[in-house]
Amino acid sequence: MPLLRNETFVAWRYLYRRRRSRAVIGMTALSLALLTAVLLAFFVFHLPQVGAIGTIPSVLLFVVFLLLNFFSVFTTVSIIGVVLGVAALTVVLSVTSGFQDDFKAKVLGVNAHVLVLKYGLDFNEYRDVEQKALAEPHVLAAAPFVFNEMMIARGPALSGVLMKGIDIKESPAVLDIADRLIAGKMEDLGKPLAPNDGGPPLSEIFIGKELQKKLRVKVGDRVRLVSPKADMNPDDWDAGAGPKLREFRVAGVFYSGFDEYDRRLAYVSLADAQSFYPGGDVVTGVEMKLDDVEAAKSVAQALHRHLGGTPYRVIDWEELNHNLFTALRMQKVALVIFLTLIILVAAFNIVAAMTMLVIDKTKEIAILKSMGMRSAAIARVFQVAGLTIGSVGTAAGVALGLLCCKVVEQYGYALDPKVYLIDRLPVRIQPDEVALTVAITLAICFVATIYPALKAAFMEPVEGLRYE
């Protein structure tokens, strides 16, 4: 340990800038004042554009001049390279985690954790399936549902819609539709009322916010649902096999934040959904809510065994949205790989800085070796110096990245939901991902110190003292 303290002292002596420039000190004070003003404007006086535009430049300016008080220009450039790489990786990982968590929350808001489906159109034993599902560990609630594609119309406005029939009593325990209603109440779905333009009472329907805009309707207005043709032969339509049309009263509007659902999903009661088809009391499937969403796969597998397999199919929420979450994971991995290249570039700066330091300190290395310092100790001096650059850059980069995440979260950058499916740029800071960023950076910085450390270790004392 004393040897390591000596090596740390020598390494810090090599890096430390003993003469501070008054100009640098003055610029540090000015940059600190600018950063303070920007942060106050953003977080205290709530001027979002000032913070969104000025935070990163003001922080970088302050960090650069602060480092110049302690390190040389060449060393400061090496540290800033690490800062930028770590900050970029921290922000990108937080944003991609935000997308994953946000998509997961919105998908689970309007979808159940586990679904039981049946091949064919005769799923009439769904009450027995419900009881078996409720007997499984982790299952909190279960409810039947009917799911079909239809057309919805209001005057000349027309749109395709995914109609979901839900059990008015059981489904609220499975889905959080009530929490997402921005107009109307959950209990309104089971109460036929007269529409705004008068006439007999109509069954109720909930529609998404974007669908409401497209149809230009409000709560109480009349809309029409048209089912697909039950028989493709028009000659049989008069016998009741043709398209069915029913009018509904808009009872509520929901907003999930997921554009695909808000634009194409509509809820009606289970009985109203079943009335479109001749099968009677049959459903599309049974959906369940669990106390732990991560247990969905194991619950699905156990329930599939208890139901006897085919003709039943049991799927969990992740399998239901397999393409979406697989794409997000692959995107995250690709971004980590690409952004790690920034840290690798910074590592080459460290190699260059340490190599120049070895050349500059040739005489001192020779003196230390002449005094009996081992080659391994000489190597550790430059490894400590390189890791100091990496550690300072990593710490500042993590701080900058977390600050950027806070600014993004506070500002709430708007996104086009038609492109990104959600309307705000989400940010979720995961401590394990921050730790992974730190570990990757320090590992790369350690590798970057090997060459200059070996170069210093193998230097012969006579070479450094030849011209003295």
Instruction: Look at residues 100, 89, 83 and name the one whose alpha carbon lies nearest to residue 434.
Output: 89
Same domain for 127 and 51? no
SS (H, E, C) 226-268: ECCCCCCCHHHHHHCCCCCEEEEEEEEEECCCCHHHHHHEEEE
Per-residue pLDDT in tens (0 to 9) along the chain, 468 residues: 455 667 788 788 888 876 778 888 999 999 999 989 988 888 787 777 777 778 888 999 999 999 999 888 888 888 998 999 899 899 988 988 888 888 777 777 778 889 999 887 788 899 999 999 999 999 999 999 998 889 999 988 889 899 999 998 898 889 888 888 888 888 888 788 889 888 899 999 999 999 999 999 999 999 999 887 554 445 554 555 556 788 999 999 998 877 888 889 999 999 999 888 777 889 999 999 998 888 989 999 999 999 988 889 999 888 877 777 787 788 888 888 887 888 888 888 888 888 888 888 888 888 888 888 888 888 888 899 889 999 999 999 999 999 988 888 887 777 777 666 677 788 888 999 899 899 999 999 999 999 988 888 888 776 656 655
Percent residues over pLDDT 70 in the chain: 93
State the pLDDT at residue 463: 65
Same domain for 155 and 181? yes
Same domain for 182 and 297? yes
* pTM as predicted: 0.74
Report the DSSP beta bridge partners of residue 116. Answer: 286, 314
Same domain for 417 and 292? no
Q: Is 56 in contact with 401 (CB distance < 8 Å)? A: no
**Which residues are CB-neighbours of 123 under 8 A, at least 6 positions away?**
117, 282, 283, 284, 285
> How many other CB atoms are there within 10 angstroms of residue 333's CB atom?
11
Q: How many domains does the chain have?
A: 3
Instruction: Look at residues 67, 82, 138, 131 and name the one whose alpha carbon lies nearest to residue 298.
Output: 138
Same domain for 232 and 295? yes
Same domain for 405 and 456? yes
Same domain for 162 and 212? yes
**Structural domain span for residue 195:** 112-317
- pLDDT tens-digit readout, 418-462: 666 677 788 888 999 899 899 999 999 999 999 988 888 888 776
- Of the candidates 283, 317, 351, which is a domain's last residue? 317
Same domain for 171 and 279? yes
Same domain for 407 and 308? no
The pair of three-digit structure tokens given for residue 328, joined into one six-digit string: 């997000």
Same domain for 31 and 92? no
Same domain for 303 and 402? no
Instruction: Look at residues 254, 256, 319 and name the one whose alpha carbon lies nearest to residue 102.
Output: 256
- The CA distance from 159 to 214, in Å, is 8
**Which residues are CB-neighbours of 330 under 8 A, at least 6 positions away?**
none
- Of the candidates 299, 317, 335, which is a domain's last residue? 317
- The CA distance from 140 to 155, in Å, is 42
No. of helices (H) and no. of strands (E), the chain: 17, 10
The pair of three-digit structure tokens given for residue 50, joined into one six-digit string: 């000032």
Longest Cα separation, the chain: 111
Judged on CB neighbours under 10 Å (0-12, 13-18, 19+), 48 is middle
Same domain for 90 and 116? no
- Of the candidates 317, 347, 376, which is a domain's last residue? 317
Cα end-to-end span (Å), the chain: 33
- The CA distance from 21 to 66, in Å, is 12
